[in-house]
Structure 1
Amino acid sequence: MGEVFYNLAFDFGASSGRMVLCKLEDGKMELEELHRFPNNEIRIGGHIYWDLFRLYHEMKQGLKKAAARKVPIQSLAVDTWGVDYGLFDKDGNLIGNPVHYRDSRTDGMMEEIGKIIPLEELYNRTGLEFMYFNSIFQLYAEKGMRPVILDHAKRLLFMPELFGYFLTGIMYTEYTFASTSQLLDARKREWDFELIEKLGLNKELFGDIVMPGTIIGDLLPEVEEETGLSGVKVIAVGSHDTASAVAGAPMESQDAAFLSCGTWSLLGMVLDEPILNEASYKYNYTNEGSIDGKIQFLKNINGLWIMQNLRKNWCEFEAEVSFPDIIKAAREAKRKDFIIDPKDPRFTAPLNMMKEIVAYCEEKGQGCPQGLGEMAMAIYNGLTEEYRKSIEGMEEITGKNIPCINMVGGGIQDELLCELTAKATGKRVAAGPTEGSVLGNSIVQFVAVGAVKSIDEGRRIIKNSFELKFYEP
């Protein structure tokens, strides 16, 4: 028996969070979910916020459970969804609750910023896909929504680093997450301070950037005392959950695509350098930071959040259903040709997803979806059509033939989605593992403490530890 290593991976999604105990022994990994909790949006005063302090409370409950296990945990790390942040005053106090990326405050901000810097120039500098909720648009919106808070802010911390600060008292900014802001120079992997000044934002808000695998520090004494967990290092991993998911994807080949499938669908390739040209701008591809300083050239696609909300509304207004019930209904649907466009703004944050799906299909001359199965098929077809277009666009821009799509994340538990993805794209799909973000988070930690030599070795360990399922087109 060889040495055994343990770490904790906190993975926050847009609807839930969890803490997983990760074990490495004799070249194999094992995962044990110790704590799971909801992540509910809070609507108040016409805006949407994150319930930040509840989330931090849940983190500490997880740490208490980890301490009770009495195993030698070396480190922990946090990854979350992208773009969102908190602002701090000169004394290190949080001022104002973090706003949810689906909030409407960014309406019209893209056009306003386009008056200051042409959008094509902005893309050429930052390499980021234009999405209404990118941090750049949120920060510019602060001028109208919360000018007093913005005027007094002296430091910005993105969500994973915000939790890291609560745990360690140390402020830091991690590269992969910073790359989701649309304020980073894509080529230099540094803040674009010229752009930041053009927008009238305070340069002091943006701290030094650390790369994934950086050991940040120890838990604060007060955290150790409250939770009973001590001797644990906090590590900056691929703090953006997509970067962690890609790190945890056992890629079938160098030219394979990845598809991190959850609340959002992130479909792309790992490249050494960003692609910043007319075609990537025209088709709106993004260049986000990846592990080892590489680039994730990808498309953000509104994902299973639409299906989650269909289920939520069906349970509210019709009858209780599970996701397996929805899959069964979709397979049995009389009509399977309904299709929505996941990019349509009506599917961003509706109060009733069922009504929006029906209205969209009727407005597009498709007729009226009848029942749960036909509504679900409209979502499946919309998602997989976006996957097809994204794959074809990547092949055109990169000049590469993509032989396979490595699907990771909770969405791979939906076999119908995997089947339809292979059919729509014409590509072989390798589905697994489910816990892509957790595994990538954990592997970067193991590399940082010297338990694993490299990310490539980590991916081999993941492949040897978890079974993949293959779907042919």
Structure 2
Amino acid sequence: MGRNCLAVDIGASSGRVIMSTLTDNKINLKEIHRFKNQMYKEKGSFYWDIDKLFGEIVKGLKIFSNNDLEADSIGIDTWAVDYVLLGKDGKRISPVYAYRDNRTNNSIDDFTEKISKEDIYSKTGIQFIQFNTLYQLYEHVKSNPSIIENISSILMIPDYLNYLLCNEKAVEYTNATTTQFYNIHDKTWDDELVKEIGLTSSVFPSIAKAGTVIGSLNDKLESETNIKGLKVIAPATHDTGSAVVAVPAIDYEFAYISSGTWSLMGIESDIPICSQEALNYNFTNEGGAYDTIRFLKNIMGLWLIQEVKRILNDKYSFAKLVELAKEAESISIINPNDNRFLNPENMVNEIKNYCKETNQIVPNTVGEIAKCIFESLALQYKQVLLQLRKISNKTINKIHIVGGGCQNDYLNQLCADYTECEVFAGPIEATAIGNIMVQYITLGEIDNISEARKIIMDSFEIRRFKPDFDVNIDDKWNKFKELI
């Protein structure tokens, strides 16, 4: 048997504890525990139940131990930007806000009156999205200034979960960069930005690179779970950072799409790209594992169809929604990244209203709404690809789609047809796999990311989609350009 690692991978709707075994340069995965996650609403604001999430991790560890399994290490990844405030006693002092909360709707305009967008971007290289940690903390402190006296530490979600596991505080690099507090030139927290919200950089712990051993399972948890000597390793704790580690690419001229609730589309770069053009297009320079930059753009992603499914009381499976979309007539498109789709009361009505307001035929059937979403996402992929080529001067003719969204063959083919690129879909469990690969590199079982990617190619199914060059999207593309 090879060495085992545990990956905790938590997204906006669910989380998993997964065990991996590395044997003969092949990775095998076994799901130990799966649990639900969702925002909750209280007094008009949206939060995460962080205590429940940690409880589910501990439950997963107990299940693992009760099955007489062993592991060398554990790594946690989650979404980015959301944070936890700790008081002087080391305990949480505030509920954990969810990034879809509307308190930051006007924060960018407000904050950039104090420090210009150009200055912020030159420091951080991070795109301007209203839920960045910078604007969340700005609103948090502004609405409750007395909290400043009580804050001793600020941790990102996975860093806080690590802290609960091993009693050690650190903020992992890939997640630190997403906050818009990290100075990409000084490679540390930016004093000016932190000071502008009324805090000092001392509240942010030291920054740890992906692959750092943060500590070991604390005594209380060792006793509770009956697991001894489990190393707590920070993978790329930002789930997109872990997903990009798992992109099964050998050459360098490719774009990736980490496809799930969000679609994160970009390239790997050796250096930050902070040009005026990159700022104008609102691209972001997020830290990657092993000294890379993830130069990418956030696209609203499958959140759109997830919300449609929810609003329709889960009457249709995702597979059925795809089937209905394929059968439906193409009548309208949307700009997926319009802020109105971030967290509307009713996604179906929001899409219909958008189409009506933009003088398009209003989609009425479920199939028409689903087709509108999938075609609009594919058009957004085309737009981002063209921008990536222009900014980076790279010849990009391959797109790797990883994550749960890569199971949507209809969207994969639309992506190939609309971008005129070869599309490679897989692996599905990219985030957990990338998390695990960083652990194996730290443990000395794998030499580097190139070797890790070859192992991934040999271990998981990667499906290929060739573009149909006879597909004509001129009318849709011209309409899409009007909408953006």
TM class by shorter chain equals over 0.9
Equivalent residue for 2:477?
none
Question: Does the alignment pair 1:430 with 2:428?
Answer: no
Question: SS of 2:33's equivalent?
Answer: strand
How far apart are the structure 1 equivalents of 2:144 and 2:239?
A: 28
Question: SS of 1:115's equivalent?
Answer: coil
Equivalent residue for 1:363?
357
Q: CA deviation at 1:198?
A: 3.5
Equivalent residue for 2:479?
none
Q: 2:327 aligns with which of 327, 332, 339?
A: 332
Equivalent residue for 2:335?
341
Question: Does the alignment pair 1:384 with 2:378?
Answer: yes
How far apart are the structure 1 equivalents of 2:97 and 2:148?
A: 13
Equivalent residue for 1:178?
176
Q: CA deviation at 1:148?
A: 3.0
How far apart are the structure 1 equivalents of 2:422 and 2:85?
A: 44
How far apart are the structure 1 equivalents of 2:282 and 2:188?
A: 22
Q: CA deviation at 1:87?
A: 0.4
| 1:18–1:35 contact (8 Å) kept in structure 2 | yes
Q: 2:251 aligns with which of 250, 253, 260?
A: 253
**Structure 1 unaligned regions, length at least 5:** none
Equivalent residue for 2:114?
116
Q: CA deviation at 1:338?
A: 1.7
How far apart are the structure 2 equivalents of 1:181 and 1:145?
A: 19
How far apart are the structure 2 equivalents of 1:112 and 1:309?
A: 30
**Percent identical across equivalent pairs?**
39
| 1:408–1:432 contact (8 Å) kept in structure 2 | yes
| 2:211–2:442 contact (8 Å) kept in structure 1 | yes
Q: CA deviation at 1:382?
A: 1.6
How far apart are the structure 1 equivalents of 2:199 and 2:57?
A: 32
How far apart are the structure 2 equivalents of 1:78 and 1:378?
A: 35
Q: CA deviation at 1:407?
A: 0.6
**Structure 2 unaligned regions, length at least 5:** 468-484
The list of structure 1 runs, each at least 4 consecutive aligned residues, that deviate by more than 3 angstroms after superposition, is: none
| 1:175–1:189 contact (8 Å) kept in structure 2 | no
Q: CA deviation at 1:340?
A: 1.2
| 1:259–1:405 contact (8 Å) kept in structure 2 | yes
How many pairs were matched up?
A: 467
Q: CA deviation at 1:194?
A: 2.9
Q: 1:188 aligns with which of 179, 186, 196?
A: 186
Equivalent residue for 1:443?
437
Q: How does 1:262-277 map to 2 (within 5 A)?
A: 262-277=260-275
Question: SS of 2:308's equivalent?
Answer: helix
Equivalent residue for 1:242?
240
Equivalent residue for 2:166?
168
Question: SS of 2:445's equivalent?
Answer: coil
How far apart are the structure 2 equivalents of 1:227 and 1:274?
A: 43
Q: 2:22 aligns with which of 18, 21, 24?
A: 24
> In structure 1, what residue type is equivalent to 2:319?
P
TM-score by length of 2: 0.95
Q: CA deviation at 1:439?
A: 0.5
Show CA shifts across 1:24-75 (max 9, x none): 0010000111111111111001100001111111111111111123233000
How far apart are the structure 1 equivalents of 2:313 and 2:266?
A: 34
Question: Does the alignment pair 1:137 with 2:132?
Answer: no
How far apart are the structure 1 equivalents of 2:445 and 2:376?
A: 42
Question: Does the alignment pair 1:459 with 2:457?
Answer: no
Show CA shifts across 1:63-109 (max 9, x none): 11111232330000000001000000111011011100001111221
How far apart are the structure 2 equivalents of 1:409 and 1:292?
A: 21
How far apart are the structure 1 equivalents of 2:142 and 2:448?
A: 46
Q: CA deviation at 1:252?
A: 4.5
How far apart are the structure 2 equivalents of 1:380 and 1:41?
A: 25
| Distance change in 2, residues 1:100/1:150 (3 Å) | farther
How far apart are the structure 2 equivalents of 1:420 and 1:212?
A: 34
Equivalent residue for 2:73?
75
The Cα RMSD (Å) is 1.1
Q: 2:205 aligns with which of 168, 187, 207?
A: 207
> In structure 2, what residue type is equivalent to 1:374?
E
Question: SS of 1:95's equivalent?
Answer: coil
Equivalent residue for 2:50?
52
How far apart are the structure 1 equivalents of 2:82 and 2:335?
A: 25
Question: Does the alignment pair 1:416 with 2:410?
Answer: yes
